[in-house]
Amino acid sequence: KMAEKQEEPSNTQNGEPDNAEEGEEKKKKKLKREDLPPFEIVTGERLPAIFFKFQFRNVEYSSGRNKTFLCYVLETQGKESVTSRGYLEDEHAAAHAEMAFFNTILPKCESSLRYNITWYVSSSPCVTCADRITETLKKNKNLHLTIMVGRLFMWEEPEMQAALKKMKSAGCKLRIMKPQDFEYVWQHFVEQEEGEEAKAFVPWEDIQENFLYYEEKLAEIL
C-alpha cells in the first residue's frame, strides 16, 4: 500500500495553514509580517531563479538566508527503476526541508527496494536534522543518501561537527557543491522564464574560491 502523501500546497505563496497553531502563528507573524512567509512546506517542480541566486550562493556570511532549499533526485530501484525529482523549501515555523523530505516524499522505505537519493541543499543540515538523517540511514540499509551542500551551517560548533561525523559513519555522503553542481541545479531545478531561451548559468565571482574554502573545512571536520 502506498504511504499516503499529505496534500501539500503547491508553490503558492499564500496557502492557508491548516493546523491548530494557526492563531499562535498569526501572533508571531504580526511582529515581522513582511519577512515571514505563510506557514507551509512549499513543494514544486522548479524554484524561482531569484531564490536560487540568493539562497544557494555559497558565501560565508549568509545573512537573511534562514531557509533551506532542498532539490532532490530520488531513484527507486525495484523490478523497474523510477526516478522522481522536485524541490522543498522550509518556512520559519514549519519542519525543516530535510525532515519534510522524510515525512512527505519518502515516509516509508520498502525493504525490497533500493533508494538512491541525491539532495542539492543550500546549506548543510542543523544538528536535529543531521541526527534524524543518521537514524533514518541506520534503520534503512537500502537507502543511500548523497547530500551536496552549498554552504556549511554553523560548522565551527563542536555539536554540529559531531552530528556531521555521525551522518558520515551512517553512510551519508556529504559533499560541497562545485560550480558544476550549481550549474546542474540551475538547469534541472530552476524555473526558466516563459518563452525565453534557457539562460545559461552565470557563476558568481567567488564561487570557486568559496567552494574550496568549504571543501577544506569539511575535510577537516570529517
Specify the CATH number for the domain of residue 65: 3.40.140.10
Distances in whole angstroms, Cα of residue 149 to Cα of each of 30, 73, 119: 33, 14, 8
CA atoms of 90 and 114, how far apart (whole Å): 27
Does a structural domain hold residue 5?
no
Q: Is residue 20 part of a domain?
A: no
Rounded Cα gap, residues 60 and 214, in angstroms: 9
Does residue 32 lie in a domain region?
no
Residue 194 annotated among the catalytic residues of the structure = no
**What domain range includes position 118?**
42-191+200-221
Active-site hit among 98, 110, 157, 215: 98
Q: How far is CA 148 from the centre of its chain?
A: 9
In angstroms, how far apart are the furthest CA atoms of the chain?
Answer: 53
Helix axes of 158-169 and 127-139: crossing angle, nearest 10 degrees: 20
Is residue 103 a part of any domain in this protein? yes
Query: Do the domain assignments include residue 125?
Result: yes
Domain count for the chain: 1
Q: Contact 42/54 with Cβ under 8 angstroms?
A: no
Instruction: Tell me if 113 is assigned to some domain.
Output: yes
- Domain contains 4: no
Give me the average pLDDT of each 10-residue run along the chain (222 residues).
42 41 46 41 59 61 63 91 85 72 90 95 92 96 96 92 97 95 88 66 87 95 95
- Take residue 71 and report the three cell numbers written for it: 532539490
**d(Cα 220, Cα 222) in Å, to the nearest integer?**
6
Q: What is the pTM of this model?
A: 0.73
In-domain check, residue 51: yes
